[in-house]
Amino acid sequence: MTSFSHIPVQNDLLQPIRQWFDSLEIQNAKLAHFLCKIIPAQCPFERDITLFGRKLFHIPPMCKLNPLYEEVVSLRFRALCYLADECGEDVAVYC
């Protein structure tokens, strides 16, 4: 897993966006459902390319190259927790 934790905070141009994502509070079921639908549970780009039943190569999960990956995944998790804990909904459809 690629980590961007080695970037000093004072030089991280994305820090304000990271803080904004981390500060978002989920207080609305409609917003929580929307976030769970648009943020995939798994990286949609990871694939095994096969031909005639033989694996030719593997495409790694490109999502982790996104510098805001951790914040987006955390936002989705908070939305799932809101739906499950606050709304009492079954979130299995999003997993």
Task: Give the structural domain span for 23.
Answer: 15-94
Can you give the pLDDT at residue 8?
55
Mean pLDDT of 48-65: 88
4 assigned to some structural domain: no
Can you give the pLDDT at residue 93?
93
Q: How confident is the model at residue 66 (pLDDT cuts 50, 70, 90)?
A: confident
37 assigned to some structural domain: yes
Domain count, the chain: 1
22 assigned to some structural domain: yes
For the chain, give the mean pLDDT. Answer: 88
80 assigned to some structural domain: yes
Residue 85 has pLDDT above 80, yes or no: yes
8 assigned to some structural domain: no
7 assigned to some structural domain: no
3-state SS, the chain, equals: CCCCCCCCHHHCCCHHHHHHHHHCCCCCHHHHHHHHHHCCCCCCCCEEEEECCEEEEEECCHHHHCCCHHHHHHHHHHHHHHHHHHCCCCCHHHC
Residue 55 has pLDDT above 80, yes or no: yes
